[in-house]
Amino acid sequence: MSDSGGGTPQLELRGITKAYPGCLANDHINLKIMPGEIHALLGENGAGKSTLVKIIYGVLEADEGEIRWVGDLVSISNPHAARKIGIGMVFQHFSLFEAMTVAENIALGMSGRQDMKALENRIIEVSNSYGLPLEPHRQVHTLSVGEKQRIEIVRCLLQNPKLLIMDEPTSVLTPQEAEKMFETLRRLSSEGVSILYISHKLDEIKALCHKATILRGGQYISECDPTKETAKSLAEMMIGTDLRAPEHHQAVKGGAVRLKVRNLTIDSDVEFGVNLANINFEVRTGEILGIAGVAGNGQIELLSALSGETRSSDVEAIMLDGKSIARLNPKERRDLGLAFVPEDRLGHGSVPEMTLAENAFLSGYSRMDLMNSGFIDNGGTAHYAEDIVKKFDVRTPGISHTANSLSGGNLQKFIVGREVLQNPNVIIVAHPTWGVDAGAAAFIHQTLIDLAEAGAAVLVVSQDLDELFAISNRIAVISEGRLSVGRELREITIEEIGLLMGGTHGMGEPVETPHVA
């Protein structure tokens, strides 16, 4: 259902305004969503999308403006009220409770009393029918990012909403899974459910959405029909300037092997973790190797084995520039020129409550020589942090602000910048642009490509296939703790990768994953 000419809108916002001290997050925003319409909300990080969506869901209160629900003026004072009138939301930063089970998390997101047994059955039923398999008894902290997102989606679907707000729902799904979810969304749309869809993937918006509202800097820019726009024109409306695609490069043939992993086998020490079985790959100087895979297939374990958070007993398993690093700790590996951008920006990639300068110091003090006989070289540290902020266009009032005061995209730019400026020989990057807007993503991609061209070996672990295709020279797929042989980009299609990612995982037919013995 794409015709939304007449009739009463399901939801209409008029003149919504919300100010924070020193910043106007929403400046008289208008928005109209018809029943059954899939409406895209587009904008960079900091454009005011999250604020607007939180106002609709009742987490925040608008300073000004009115919300009309099927024509009636309503005040949505809290999320319970929003759910009551039929608004559901999938959050970008998950609203999940780590120490609880999947079923308990879902019960918490629903109003009223639930019978746990009946709820568990409904979870299994709904999650399977929408292709988002979940085990109700699993503890959330043992799940991967992708699996966690499934919980959020299923939690909403269980409440039969009239309006579904989705904040970047497909960023961690395989193309097949995403396509399956689009079918779900189209089905919901045909059943009359309106969907407010936030995504940075412009192709996806073009394929799925009927209407798009574009925000920039807290202001309403325009409403358009995304099917009539190109991805480039949408992106340009969004960031207000011309967008440059990353310049693809050709890896130098026969460069020296910088990172070599041989028969890496590690049994996971977490409950429900994935065991790594016989992982083999190498990354050469000047090369970007992409590792694709659905979340929860051993990425976390592989990354922590490479960073040194878990260590291998096999000395030969991981070699950096010909030296064994398998038994070294993360700091010793850093000293040898291994840089690392972890998946979790806040908490793993940075200390949230510490300032940018302190965060810069913590990762770079030895490579950047920021310590004077045990004392912190404050001048040098400030200079290093300022350098990151300037060269990587980190938007922050200053380096004395804490890491958690930055938006996701800005913090990611800061962390990538911090690692890149250390001039690494090998850099390992996990989900470099997850939840990052198009402008920042393009910048991060270009940075990684430049770094490879300067002679570093780059390993990118991501679930975003568009991203891997945009920057990698070779792509390998991880599935159930096994890694397929890396294939040259031109030898492999997105469909083939999708099938490898499906592997024996999930509900599809089991497909043999090739791997080096």
Partner 1 sequence: MSGFEWIVPVVLTVITAATPLVFAGIGELITEKSGVLNLGVEGMMLVGAVSGFIAATVTGNYFLAVGAAALAGAIMAFLFGVLTLSLMANQVATGLALTLFGVGLSALMGQEFVGEPVQALAKLDIAGLSDIPFIGPIVFGQDALVYLSFFMVIVVSWFLYKTKGGLILRAVGDSHDAAHSIGYPVIAIRYMAVMFGGAMSGIGGAYLSLAYTPMWAENMTAGRGWIALALIVFATWKPGLVLVGAYMFGGITILQLHAQAAGLNVPSQVLSMLPYLATVLVLVLISKDQSRIRKHAPACIGKIFHPAA
Chain residues binding partner 1 by CB under 8 A are 20, 51, 54, 58-60, 78-80, 82-83, 91, 94-100, 104, 107-109, 113-114, 139, 141, 270-271
Helix ranges, 41-174 (H): 49-56, 79-85, 102-108, 116-129, 145-157
Report residue 29: phi and psi, to 5°.
-90, 135
Minimum CB distance to partner 1, residue 118 (Å): 14
- Between the alpha carbon of residue 5 and those of residues 70, 97, 163, the distances in Å are 15, 42, 18
Minimum CB distance to partner 1, residue 89 (Å): 9
CB-nearer residue toward partner 1: 106 or 427: 106
Structural tokens at position 58: 């009742």
CB-nearer residue toward partner 1: 99 or 517: 99
Minimum CB distance to partner 1, residue 109 (Å): 5
Report residue 126: phi and psi, to 5°.
-65, -45
Structural tokens at position 249: 């490069």
Minimum CB distance to partner 1, residue 167 (Å): 11
Minimum CB distance to partner 1, residue 405 (Å): 11
CB-nearer residue toward partner 1: 164 or 259: 164
CB-nearer residue toward partner 1: 100 or 124: 100
Q: What string of H, E and C letters represents the secondary structure of 342-387?
A: CCCCECCCECCCCEHHHHHHHHHCCCCCCEECCEECHHHHHHHHHH
For the chain, the C-alpha Rg in angstroms (whole number) is: 23
Virtual CA dihedral for 224, 436, 34, 211, nearest 10 degrees? Answer: 20
Minimum CB distance to partner 1, residue 123 (Å): 15
3-state secondary structure of 48: coil
CB-nearer residue toward partner 1: 104 or 223: 104
Minimum CB distance to partner 1, residue 323 (Å): 31
> What span, in angstroms and rounded, lies between the C-alpha atoms of 310 and 314?
12
CB-nearer residue toward partner 1: 95 or 263: 95
What sign has the CA pseudo-torsion 385, 390, 394, 400? positive
CB-nearer residue toward partner 1: 142 or 263: 142
Virtual CA dihedral for 7, 12, 15, 19, nearest 10 degrees? Answer: -170
